[in-house]
Chain A
Amino acid sequence: MCGRPEAPERAGKALHHPGALEFGKVRPMLAEAAPAPFDGDDWLFEVKWDGYRALAFLERGADAGRGGDGGGRTRLQSRRLRDLTPGFPDLGRLHSHLEGRQAVVDGEIVALRDGRPDFQTLQRGGRPVVYIAFDILELDGEVLIGRPLAERRDILDRRLGAGPDLVVSRAVLGRGTDFYRAVVRSGLEGVVAKRLDSPYRPGRRSRDWLKVRNVRRLFAVVCGYTRAAGARPFGSLVLGLADRRGRLVYAGLVGTGLDQREMASLLGLLDRTGPCPFPDGEPRSLRGRVEWVEPVHVVEVECLELTADGHLRHPVYRGLRPDKDVADCQVPAERHGGAG
């Protein structure tokens, strides 16, 4: 991705207030995709939280630590350096959980339903939202990004408290495969594996962080829809995935999980009809039943597994993902953990 490294190192041990890392200038470290879960004693594994990635810049006021909270502030910055603070008033007091004067923390803004992240709720501006912290980049003016992850996590655990608006992510050591299975069973988005001795590399997509997506949850491109059946605005969505060569292939139909309202709004979006976008042509089973559209809109589906011919088995619609594009809709490299 963005190859130009930012230059936070220049800050060194400067103890000026607020911090050394500047708001709006630090890009979070990113994970590379790994095809399958794995074990490893020098790795920690945690949940891949399904929300908005955000750095939290926390500053406590002058009377911090004496029971007061006057003058402190929390600012949230997106992956793409945007200021997210105004959009999340509920997260405006994260700094009150900090033991210290100032910190820069990495984490994810998630909307919760029954203790599980729900991306659709987040997109609709739903509540409650919680900040899940998983790394610390700076504390009281000292930049920590050169320190190994194990040390940063230790500092994070000791210095950041918890509250109804803040949770510190808990990780499991070594046992990535078992952890992945538990994550799949819980219907969570996936697992992130992080090397314990790795530094924090702002803006880098590094092999030190690997993400393994829950195979049962996929992004797929909407390629068309089958025509109305009964009272429904349309029958099902026709989904496509990009194969290893980047060619769009038919991946099945999804109708479950779509209510009337969602269908009506989708239909409004899918106004640019066109020819069948599959290079292999119209699947025989759909011939004449489909209105084809330009393959630009991405949806998230949950399914039991992929069938042998690459189709989604029992997919359930989970929602539109305007934050994703066709490049995110890959046929999974391996079908791991399917039946577990």
Chain B
Amino acid sequence: MRTLWKGAISFGLVHIPVRVYPATENKGVKFRYLHRECKTPVRYLKYCPTCGREVGPEEIVNGYEYQKGRFVVLEDEDFERLPAPETKVVDIVDFVDLAEIDPIYFDKSYYLAPADGGVKAYALLRRAMVETGRVAIARAVLRAKQHLAAVRVLEGRVLVMETMFWPDEIRSWAGLEGVDAEPTFHENELRMAETLIGSLTGPFMPSKYTDEHRQALRELIQAKVEGREIYEHREPEAVKVLDLMEALRASVEMARSHRAGGPPGTT
């Protein structure tokens, strides 16, 4: 598995070096858009309607739309001037019971594995968390963004970090129509529903559930491949020459902006 990043868990005075791996993956079937006529993957152009032309990557800046149609522009230097959050540290601040955290807070899951020199401290933290039955609440930095996270022990072996939404990112359900209504129903209706629940109750077995739609889609795709209903696309050489010329131009542009922004004397 590819390491996402290397960092450390900070726990009191202890620093535990860890590697971070993504714990889940999306297996949805991905499609690319083709031009129906020639079956060429379509290309997205970054087009400026004012100048009436395509714009290159070096011509694009970040704009924040603070009001509809009104922007402030943030350049690389602006981002660099921001106070850098403590990078690559999972900073444990509290311990709580897992059951106290509503699942609505959970966003993405990452495995944490001990990195060089961290094996003992990792095992110690894991053991202590198992014994106390607690999960840790931490602040973590992932891809330049600060996250709230829960760190817990999975299957008694591996630490998992669940990144969480910040409380103000959880939307309120107040005002959802019909939620607050208290209609009356017969005692028998309730009994019937409870009986039904009882008869469907059992242990959670994830393997019971599969994505039938995805499976059917994959079978359909496989049948088309086997039926040789296929279109091959090779980038025509002429397009590659255009790309080459574009790359040359971009590197001239980069050399220029580098010189403009960089220390004097750089060539």
Q: Which residues of A contact B (CB under 8 A)?
A: 47, 112-116, 128, 130, 132, 162-167, 169-170, 172, 175, 178-179, 181-183, 185-186
Contact = CB atoms under 8 A, between A and B. Distances in A.
A175 B237 contact: no
Contacts of B243: 115
Contacts of B245: 47, 169-170
Q: Dominant SS at the B interface?
A: helix
A114 B247 CA distance: 14
A182 B256 contact: no
Given A163-B238, A165-B238, A167-B242, 4 more contacts: A113-B237, A178-B255, A178-B256, A182-B255
Q: Which 5 residue pairs are nearest across A and B when measured between Cβ atoms?
A: A115-B240, A112-B237, A178-B255, A182-B251, A170-B245
Interface residues of B, number: 18
B248 A183 contact: yes
Given A175-B255, A181-B255, A170 B240 contact: no
Contact of B236 (A164, A169, A179, A182): A164
A179 B241 CA distance: 16
Given A47-B245, A169-B245, A170-B245, A178 B251 contact: yes
The secondary-structure label for the interface of chain A is mixed
A268 to B, nearest CB: 32
Q: Which of B241, B243, B245, B249 has the most CB of A within 10 A?
A: B241
Contacts of A185: 251
A173 to B, nearest CB: 9
B244 A186 contact: yes
Interface string B2-31: 000000000000000000000000000000
A178 B252 contact: yes
A172 B255 contact: no
A114 B248 contact: no
B249 A172 contact: yes
Contacts of A163: 238
B246 interface: yes
B207 to A, nearest CB: 46
A163 B243 CA distance: 14
Interface string B77-96: 00000000000000000000
Contact of B252 (A116, A130, A169, A175): A175
B238 A130 contact: yes
Nearest to A49: B241
A182 B242 contact: no
Contacts of A116: 241, 244
Contacts of B236: 128, 164
B248 A186 contact: yes
A167 B248 contact: no
Interface string B179-196: 000000000000000000
A175 B256 CA distance: 9
B252 A172 contact: yes
B255 A164 contact: no
B241 A132 contact: yes
Contacts of B247: 182, 186
A112 B256 contact: no
Contact of A128 (B237, B242, B251, B252): B237
Contacts of A183: 248
Which of B238, B242, B246: most chain A CB closer than 10 A? B238
13 contacts: A112-B240, A114-B237, A128-B238, A130-B237, A132-B241, A166-B238, A167-B238, A170-B242, A175-B255, A178-B256, A179-B252, A182-B255, A183-B248
A306 B263 CA distance: 31
B266 to A, nearest CB: 12
Given A172-B248, A182-B248, A167 B255 contact: no
A114 B239 CA distance: 10
Contacts of A179: 248, 252
Contacts of B241: 112, 115-116, 130, 132, 167
B238 A170 contact: no
Nearest to A340: B267
B252 A182 contact: yes
Contacts of A169: 245
A272 B256 CA distance: 52
A175 B248 CA distance: 11
A13 B236 CA distance: 39
Name the residue among B239, B243, B246, B252 with the largest chain A CB count within 10 angstroms.
B252
A169 B249 CA distance: 12
Interface in B209-267: 236-249, 251-252, 255-256
Nearest to A46: B245
Contact of A115 (B237, B249, B252): B237
Contacts of A186: 244, 247-248
Contacts of B240: 112, 114-115
Nearest to A162: B238
A185 B254 CA distance: 14
Contacts of B237: 112-115, 128, 130, 164
A60 to B, nearest CB: 20
A157 to B, nearest CB: 12
A167 to B, nearest CB: 5
Nearest to A191: B248
Contacts of A178: 251-252, 255-256
A246 B241 CA distance: 37
